[in-house]
Chain A
C-alpha cells in the first residue's frame, strides 16, 4: 500500500481565497483524522471520521473550515476564506481500528496564506 496520500504537498495562496486540501487514506482503514501543526499550538486534532461519517469536529477552529469524506477513499479539508493565521502544516491520518494503536500519517500539506 502506498500509505496515506495528501495533496498538494505545498500550497501558497492569497488571503481570502478558498483552499482545498485532499487526502486518500489507506485502503481498509475505518478512521480518518485531520490535524493541524503549528509552532505555537503543536499538533491539534481538527476533525475525525468513522466510516465516512464525521464523528467529532470540535477541533475545527471556525466556520471557515469544513471537511468532507464522500467515500472511503477520499477526504477534503476546505478553508474559505483563508487567512494568514491558517498557515500551518495540515496532516491527514488514518487508522484501521479502535482503539487507535497505530495511526498512519500522510506527509502533510504545508499551507502558506499571504
Chain B
C-alpha cells in the first residue's frame, strides 16, 4: 500500500535560515510522483514543487528544493532563506497507480518562522 510519512508535527526556524521538512514514502510502484503543498492559515492548498520518480535531478522552484533520495524513499523539502510568510502547514504527497491520478497525502508539518 502507498503511504506518506511526515514525522515532524511542528518545526521552528529563524527568519532567513534554511529549514528541511522530512518526508518518507512507501510504494511498490516503479513510477510515481512526489509533491509538496503549502497550506497557510487561510486554508488554501498551494502547490510548491514536484519530483518524478525517474527524474535524475532534484527539483527546485525558487527558494524550494526537493531532496530526493530514491533508495531511502525520502523526499524532503528544503526551504532556503525562510520568510515570515512561510509559516504554514506543509504536506508531502505522492501520486501513483497506472495513471498517477490517485494521490495520497501525509499528515503535514506545521512550520513557524520566528522573526
Q: Which residues of A contact B (CB under 8 A)?
A: 31, 33, 42-43, 45, 48, 50, 55-56, 89, 91, 93, 95, 98-108, 110
Q: Give complex CA distance A104, B47 in Å.
A: 7
Q: Judging by beta carbons under 8 Å apart, are A43 and B33 in contact?
A: no
Q: What's the minimum C-beta distance from B3 to chain A, rounded to whole angstroms?
A: 12
Known pairs A42-B106, A42-B108, A43-B105; A99 contacts B43 (CB<8 A):
no
Q: Which residues on A sit within 8 Å (CB–CB) of B12?
A: none
B contact set with A: CB distance below 8 Å: 31, 33, 35, 37, 42-47, 50, 52, 91, 93, 95, 99-108
> When the two chains form their complex, are residues A103 and B105 in contact, meaning their CB atoms are under 8 A apart?
no
Residues on the A chain within 8 Å of B108, using CB: 42
3 closest A-B pairs by CB: A99-B100, A105-B45, A43-B105
Extra pairs beyond A89-B43, A99-B33, A103-B47 (18, CB < 8 Å) = A43-B91, A43-B105, A45-B103, A48-B102, A55-B101, A56-B102, A93-B45, A100-B33, A100-B101, A100-B103, A101-B33, A101-B52, A102-B47, A103-B103, A104-B47, A105-B44, A106-B44, A110-B43
Residue of B nearest to A59 (CB): B102
Question: By the criterion CB–CB under 8 Å, are A100 and B95 in contact?
Answer: yes
Flag if A100 contacts B45 (CB, 8 Å). Answer: no
Known: A91-B45, A108-B43. A98 touches B99 (CB 8 A): yes
CA distance A91 to B44 in the complex (A): 9
Q: Which residues of B contact A50 (CB under 8 A)?
A: 101
Nearest-neighbour CB distance to chain B for A92, whole angstroms, equals: 10
Residue of A43, A101, A107 contacting most chain B CB atoms (<10 Å) = A43
Shortest Cβ distance from residue A101 to the other chain B in the assembled complex, whole angstroms = 5
Chain B residues in 8 Å Cβ range of A56: 101-102
Which one, A42, A55, A107, contacts B44 given CB within 8 A? A107
Contact of B99 among A99, A101, A108 (CB under 8 A): A99
Residues of A within 8 A of B50 (CB): 101-102
Residues of A within 8 A of B105 (CB): 42-43
A21 CA to B83 CA in the complex, in Å?
A: 35
